[in-house]
Amino acid sequence: MARKSSAKQPAAEKPAAKLSHLGAGGEARMVDVSGKDTTERVAVAEGHIVMQTETLDIVLNGNAVKGDVLGAARIAGIMAAKRTHQLIPLCHPLPITKVAIDIEPDHRLPGFVVQATVKVTGQTGVEMEALTAASVACLTIYDMVKAVEKGMRIEGIRLLEKTGGKSGTYRAEGHEPNEKSSKG
């Protein structure tokens, strides 16, 4: 009689997802989106910049030496979204129709929560543009107040939501869309 092994058998492996930016030989390539339908596509991304309460107060009171910290961060985020294809090698240049950067203080961090919403009517999504916008807005806040505090942390850069295209809607676990992000 054959003895049964007490070790658990590994679960059947799922087939690996095909990475669209890799060719058959593993070489990087830009995806051909010419056959995709043109649809409205929206992506929302966020990031947090964590700082000391004193630094947060300086920004909120408008006392930063370099000037309007949050205004500069909003403009930088918008500019970054529009130039994502120049920063991320395999991104397509897109005719972006909307970029909104919302920055809210969060005393629990303490710091700011940055949310970037990007919209396009096109053949590919704007997830990278939203992620880039949120990242650069956070970096700009850092740059504007680094003379006060060099130990700030940028955390939690992530995609919250995307709509449109063949893959449909994605929403990060626990994320509920707000009116600002869902309005055109």
- From 37, 68, 102, 143, the catalytic residue: 143
CA 182 to CA 171: how far, in whole Å? 12
Amino acid identity for residue 50 in this structure: V
161 within 8 A of 43, measured Cβ to Cβ? yes
Angle among Cα 108, 112, 115 to the nearest 5 degrees reads 120
145 within 8 A of 55, measured Cβ to Cβ? yes
Phi, then psi, of 80 in degrees rounded to 5: -65, -45
CA 47 to CA 115: how far, in whole Å? 7
Active-site residue, 68 included: no
Looking at the annotation, which residues are catalytic?
143
